[in-house]
Every structure is written in structure tokens, then in C-alpha cells.
């Protein structure tokens, strides 16, 4: 497999090289890249960016640090007009630098671009979905290095529910909250402990690494800008810095979204600081909107919920409607549906929550919670196969059928997803690029596919919407007419009536 390479934006360079304490995600990225001899580039445009720093002492120090890295030079003859045509309006000097970095990325000079600049992520996404996937936040870049070169031995599977008094608030996990909020200890005692606020927690090896503190509010008692009869306030949303690369933020957000949808909330909201760009990007992807600023200067992010079905719109694609209204999705006469057979080993990798071995295993007790709750690790997932079907458009409904298995369930539809995109990988390098940032596959597993021009691998990106509970057994699928005789061994399209029957049988908590 070809060695990965990363181009870092100026904000990453400063995060690694300024005179302040290096954050855990930055330090881990640098350590992993060095340990595995991964090329990390700085573009010559970074010098121009830094040269605009009015602090002359800091400017000279930053410029000197560039010499530690491999430097990418701009293509000769590359004009501002050419960059603006490809990457959008360049109104400020920073815009020109951003476009130059994207040009280097798209030209193949680097595999991934690492930046905390939300605008740069949006510019890449507007250029193309595939380019957008190759622009990573520092935590996702760190996770990709871990996944590629240091596969995780024991994945974190569970979010547990506890009350605030069960958590040791003196834990170092809370230090950054105390630093930013001197009254934290008093707030925790008076508001969280005394009011018995419920919390979602993630523990790894008996260490707290993820936390959400939640509170129920009403229209008459809320800090939200938008009112609703039943409001879910996320008082605290925190992931340990050293664990931000394992997508615990997405895990916790999925818990929020599924819980709010299941329990009939009309609104969920939380506040963020301006520098929490990766959290804001995650929130906006799933339909949260910046509704204003509170008295402390924090952004208020809100997301409405409904039990009603969705209507087709000419202004937004089926997939974008699904992600913004997640976990709801569109189902009408134009919606296409597909069944996807999946082997047990891949099923267990993609859906670790559903793995319930009959014999005790190393994962039991991985969470401190007494009763681990679903869902599992991430919302956006990647599935690899060589099926001939081209599938349908983004927004199509996917049902995953687990084949003959040693552990239950066996031969049953277990999960429902919404298609995001389908791409073909014609080399192992293609696989690495197309699954980067979302992959659950190790370097060895990707290489074992032996992707070639003649035998490409289909890369299916999708949203996990729901686990089908109880799973739809093979006998039931035969009764429904979805399976005739032996189960299908490759991807197959569902007739509209079958699609509707399967969705209805999935026992969703909202109308479609």
C-alpha cells in the first residue's frame, strides 16, 4: 500500500509549533506521522499567510518552523482567475491561500489536507464530495493514521447513562472546563448533582473519555432561541482530547439525535465556543443551525425534531434532506430501495452494538455503564463490496441482510441505512482515499481487496438510520415476498411495495 501524505494548513502548523502547550490531538498526529514515516507537507503559500501576521516576533518564529517540514511549491503559471473558477470567489488573501491548498490536494500532490478552518472544508465540499472527504479536521486525520497504521484492538462500543453524582468531577477530564469556567465546581454541585441531572458517559479502561449532561426544558423555561413544548438542552458536550480521533463526538451526537427523536422532543440545543470548529461542522451536517449568540458570547446551535414524514423538495437532495433531518428520511413513490447481503465478520465490524456473543468476551464491561444503550459508534459508514449493481441515487434506502452466522441473529435484516454515494476504487490507494476519515478497515484489510482496473471495489457511503428490532428473519422475508427460495447473494433492488413493507416492519419511531 502506498504511504499516505498530508498537507497541513497554517492553523495546524501554528497548533503544532507555537509557544503554547500542544493539544493532545495535534501532538498525537505529529507523533504518529513521525513514527510511521508519513510525509507531512507545508505549502509555500503558508509563508505568505504567516507573513501577514502583525506580530513580528511571532511571525519570524513561525516562518522559521516551516523549515522543519517538506514544502510543496505552487504550480508554475497557476493564476488567481484559474483558482477562483475552480474553488469559488477569492475575496481575501486567506481565500487565495485556501484555494491554492485545494489545488495542490486535487492535483495529487498530497493525499489529505488537514485544517481546522470550517470555511475551507465548505469550499472543498462545494467543489466535489470526494474532495471534501479528503479535507480532514485534526482529530479525523489522527484517527485515520491510527486506523491505517495502528488498528484498534478493542473498540469502544457503549454509551452509558448515569446521574451526575456518580461521576467524579475532580477527574482531570474536567480540567479544561474549569479553566474556561471558574465557577464549574459550584455549577456541577448546585445544578448537576443536586438536581440529579442525567448524563451519557463513555468510559475506556475505566477512564472517563466522553460526557454529555442533559436537561429537559419547556417553552416557558429555556435559553433556546426557538421555543417548543418539549426541549432537550445539552448542557455539556465533551470528549477527552486524546480520544477525539475515535469519533466519540459522533457517537455522542448520535445518542442525542436518536434519543430526541425517540422521545418526542420538539427541539434540541447546545452552545459552542467560536474555536470549536469541528463540533460546529458536525452539528451543521446533521441539521443544527446557529440561532444566535448568548450573553457569554457562545453560539447557540438548535435542531428541530418532528414525528411527521418528510416531503420531497426541489431545493434539497433526498440525501441532504435525510442528513439534516436525521434519523428521518424521505420515502415516496420515487424513492428506491435495495437489499445488501453482508457477511458476519463485516457486520460485526460495522455494527459492533449488535454483536452479542453467547460466550463472554473482552468487550464485556468496556463501558462503566450498568446498561449500555444503543446505538453504536458512528452514523456515517462505509461498506466495501464487488457487487455488480450500480445502486440508486443518493437518498436510496438500504437494508443490510446478515448472512449465515455463528452468532445471532443469523440470516436476517438487521439494519437500515440511507445511501450517500457510491464510488469505484481501482487500486488500494483509491480505497485509502475513498474511505479515508470514515474507514473501519485496516491497511491490511484494504490491501487484501486487491483493487485493480479490471476488478474495482465498490465503496458505498451511507448513514446508519436504525437497527431493525427485532431483526427480520429469513422466514419472514419469504412470507413478505422479499426472498424467493435461497437468499440473494448480491445487492438487489426492492419493488416499491416491498420497500414500504420493510420500512413499516422496521418499527421506526417516526412516520415516513
pLDDT at 417: 98
Q: Which of 5-19, 303-317, 357-371 has the lowest mean pLDDT?
A: 357-371
pLDDT at 161: 87
Task: Decide: 286 and 326 in contact? Cβ < 8 Å.
Answer: yes
pLDDT at 367: 37
pLDDT confidence of 435, banded at 50, 70, 90? confident
Question: What are 81-116's pLDDT values in tens digits?
Answer: 999 999 999 998 889 999 999 999 999 999 999 999
pLDDT confidence of 19, banded at 50, 70, 90? low
Angle at 446 between CA 239 and CA 419, to 5 degrees: 65
Q: Which residue has cell 474495482?
A: 456
Task: Decide: 6 and 41 in contact? Cβ < 8 Å.
Answer: yes
pLDDT at 444: 82
pLDDT at 184: 93
pLDDT at 353: 78
Q: CA–CA separation, 333 vs 221, rounded Å?
A: 42
What single string gives the DSSP state of each residue in 489-510? SS-EEEPHHHHHHHHHHTT-SS
Q: Indicate if the pLDDT at residue 23 is higher than 80.
A: no
Q: CA–CA separation, 512 vs 509, rounded Å?
A: 10
C-alpha cell at 59: 511571525
Instruction: For 39-66, give the secondary structure using H, E and C.
Output: EEEEECHHHHHHHCCCCHHHHHHHHHHH
pLDDT at 154: 30
Helix, strand, or coil (residue 366): coil
Question: What are 441-476's pLDDT values in tens digits?
Answer: 777 888 999 999 999 999 999 999 999 999 999 999
* Domain residue extents for the chain: 5-149, 160-304, 337-505
Helix, strand, or coil (residue 501): helix
CB atoms under 10 Å from CB of 54, counted, come to 6
pLDDT at 358: 63
pLDDT at 377: 67
Helix (H) or strand (E) holding 417: strand 412-425
pTM: 0.84
CB atoms under 10 Å from CB of 351, counted, come to 21
Closest CA to 62 of 23, 11, 7: 11
pLDDT at 248: 82
pLDDT confidence of 17, banded at 50, 70, 90? low
Q: Which residue has cell 440525501?
A: 319
Task: Decide: 231 and 361 in contact? Cβ < 8 Å.
Answer: no
Closest CA to 409 of 471, 343, 490: 471
Most confident range (mean pLDDT) of 195-204, 254-263, 499-508 is 499-508
What are φ and ψ of residue 53, in 5° steps? -65, 125
Helix, strand, or coil (residue 99): helix
pLDDT mean over 150-170: 73
Helix (H) or strand (E) holding 73: none
Helix, strand, or coil (residue 256): helix
pLDDT at 153: 43
Considering only residues 210 and 375, tell me which one the structure prediction assigns the higher pLDDT: 210
Task: Decide: 139 and 4 in contact? Cβ < 8 Å.
Answer: no
CA 297 vs. chain centroid, Å, equals 26
pLDDT confidence of 164, banded at 50, 70, 90? very high
C-alpha cell at 84: 477562483
Q: Indicate if the pLDDT at residue 152 is higher than 90.
A: no
Q: Exposure string (b/e) for 161-181, b if CB count within 10 Å is 16 or more?
A: bbebeebebeeebbeebeeee
Task: Decide: 197 and 213 in contact? Cβ < 8 Å.
Answer: yes
DSSP 8-state class, residue 23:
P
Question: What are 183-233's pLDDT values in tens digits?
Answer: 999 999 999 999 999 999 988 878 898 999 999 999 999 999 998 999 999
Task: Decide: 99 and 87 in contact? Cβ < 8 Å.
Answer: yes
Considering only residues 248 and 479, tell me which one the structure prediction assigns the higher pLDDT: 479
pLDDT at 1: 47
What is the chain's mean pLDDT, rounded? 88
In a 10 Å sphere around its CB, with 0-12 CB exposed, 13-18 middle and 19+ buried, how is residue 355 labelled? middle
Q: CA–CA separation, 165 vs 188, rounded Å?
A: 9
pLDDT at 126: 94
Task: Decide: 440 and 382 in contact? Cβ < 8 Å.
Answer: yes
pLDDT confidence of 335, banded at 50, 70, 90? very high
Q: Indicate if the pLDDT at residue 372 is higher than 70.
A: no
pLDDT confidence of 368, banded at 50, 70, 90? very low
pLDDT mean over 166-192: 92
Task: Decide: 201 and 368 in contact? Cβ < 8 Å.
Answer: yes
pLDDT at 155: 34
Bridge-based pairing state of the strands 207-217 and 267-272:
unpaired
Rg (CA), the chain: 24
Q: CA–CA separation, 143 vs 242, rounded Å?
A: 10
Task: Decide: 425 and 431 in contact? Cβ < 8 Å.
Answer: yes
DSSP 8-state class, residue 159:
B
* Domain 337-505: CATH architecture, name and number where available: Roll (2.30)
Q: CA–CA separation, 29 vs 32, rounded Å?
A: 5
Closest CA to 147 of 377, 464, 340, 353: 377
Q: What CATH homologous superfamily does 5-149 map to? A: 5'-nuclease (3.40.50.1010)
Task: Decide: 267 and 223 in contact? Cβ < 8 Å.
Answer: no
Task: Decide: 467 and 402 in contact? Cβ < 8 Å.
Answer: no
Q: Which of 59-68, 124-133, 164-173 has the lowest mean pLDDT?
A: 59-68
Q: CA–CA separation, 199 vs 173, rounded Å?
A: 15
CB atoms under 10 Å from CB of 149, counted, come to 17
Q: CA–CA separation, 258 vs 328, rounded Å?
A: 10
* Domain 160-304: CATH architecture, name and number where available: 3-Layer(aba) Sandwich (3.40)
Describe the chain by its helix, strand, coil percentages, rounded to 5: 35, 25, 40
Most confident range (mean pLDDT) of 272-281, 343-352, 451-460 is 451-460
Amino acid at each position: 500500500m502506498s504511504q499516505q501524505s498530508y498537507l497541513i494548513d497554517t492553523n495546524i502548523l501554528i497548533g503544532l509549533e507555537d509557544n503554547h502547550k500542544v493539544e493532545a490531538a495535534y501532538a498525537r498526529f505529529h507523533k504518529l506521522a513521525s513514527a510511521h514515516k508519513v510525509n507531512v507537507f507545508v505549502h509555500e503559500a503558508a509563508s505568505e499567510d504567516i507573513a501577514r501576521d502583525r506580530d513580528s516576533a511571532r511571525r519570524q518564529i513561525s516562518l522559521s518552523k516551516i523549515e522543519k517540514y517538506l514544502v510543496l511549491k505552487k504550480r508554475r503559471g497557476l493564476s488567481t482567475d484559474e483558482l477562483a473558477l475552480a474553488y469559488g470567489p477569492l475575496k481575501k488573501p486567506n481565500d487565495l491561500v485556501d484555494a491554492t491548498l485545494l489545488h495542490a490536494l486535487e492535483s495529487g500532490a498530497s493525499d489529505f489536507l488537514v485544517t481546522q478552518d470550517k470555511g475551507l472544508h465548505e469550499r472543498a465540499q462545494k467543489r466535489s464530495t470526494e474532495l471534501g472527504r479528503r479535507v480532514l479536521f485534526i482529530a479525523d486525520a489522527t484517527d485515520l493514521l491510527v486506523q491505517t497504521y495502528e488498528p484498534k484492538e478493542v473498540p469502544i462500543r457503549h454509551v452509558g447513562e448515569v446521574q451526575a453524582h456518580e461521576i467524579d468531577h475532580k477527574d482531570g477530564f474536567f480540567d479544561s472546563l474549569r479553566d474556561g469556567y471558574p465557577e464549574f465546581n459550584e455549577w456541577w454541585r448546585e445544578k448537576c448533582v443536586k438536581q440529579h441531572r442525567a448524563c451519557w458517559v463513555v468510559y475506556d479502561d475505566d477512564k472517563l473519555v466522553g460526557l454529555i449532561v442533559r436537561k429537559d426544558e419547556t417553552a416557558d423555561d429555556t435559553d433556546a432561541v426557538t421555543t417548543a413544548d418539549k426541549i432537550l438542552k445539552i448542557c455539556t458536550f465533551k470528549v477527552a482530547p486524546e480520544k477525539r480521533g475515535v469519533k466519540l463526538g459522533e457517537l455522542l451526537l448520535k445518542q442525542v439525535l436518536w434519543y430526541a427523536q425517540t422521545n418526542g422532543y420538539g427541539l434540541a440545543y447546545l452552545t459552542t465556543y467560536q474555536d470549536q470548529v469541528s463540533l460546529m461542522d458536525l452539528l451543521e451536517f446533521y441539521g443544527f443551525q446557529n440561532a444566535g449568540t448568548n450573553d457569554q458570547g457562545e453560539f447557540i446551535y438548535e435542531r428541530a425534531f418532528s414525528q411527521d414524514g418528510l416531503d420531497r423538495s426541489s431545493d434539497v437532495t433526498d440525501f441532504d434532506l435525510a442528513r439534516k433531518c436525521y434519523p428521518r428520511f424521505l420515502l415516496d413513490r420515487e424513492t428506491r430501495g435495495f437489499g445488501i447481503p453482508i457477511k458476519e465478520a463485516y457486520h460485526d465490524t460495522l455494527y459492533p452494538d449488535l454483536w452479542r456473543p453467547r460466550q463472554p468476551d473482552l468487550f464485556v464491561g468496556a463501558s462503566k455503564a450498568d446498561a449500555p444503550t444503543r446505538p453504536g459508534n458512528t452514523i456515517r459508514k462505509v461498506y466495501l463490496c464487488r457487487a455488480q449493481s450500480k445502486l440508486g441515487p443518493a437518498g436510496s434506502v438500504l437494508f443490510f441482510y446478515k448472512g449465515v452466522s455463528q452468532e445471532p441473529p443469523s440470516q436476517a435484516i438487521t439494519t437500515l441505512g440511507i445511501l450517500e454515494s457510491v464510488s469505484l476504487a481501482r487500486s488500494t490507494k483509491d480505497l485509502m482515499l475513498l474511505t479515508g476519515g470514515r474507514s473501519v478497515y485496516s491497511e491490511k484489510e484494504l490491501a487484501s481487496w486487491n483493487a485493480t482496473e479490471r476488478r474495482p471495489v465498490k465503496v458505498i457511503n451511507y448513514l446508519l438510520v436504525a437497527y431493525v428490532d427485532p431483526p427480520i428473519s429469513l422466514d419472514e422475508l419469504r412470507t413478505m415476498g422479499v426472498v424467493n427460495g435461497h437468499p440473494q447473494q448480491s445487492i438487489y433492488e426492492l419493488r416499491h411495495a416491498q420497500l414500504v413493507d420493510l420500512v413499516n416492519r422496521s418499527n421506526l419511531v417516526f412516520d415516513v
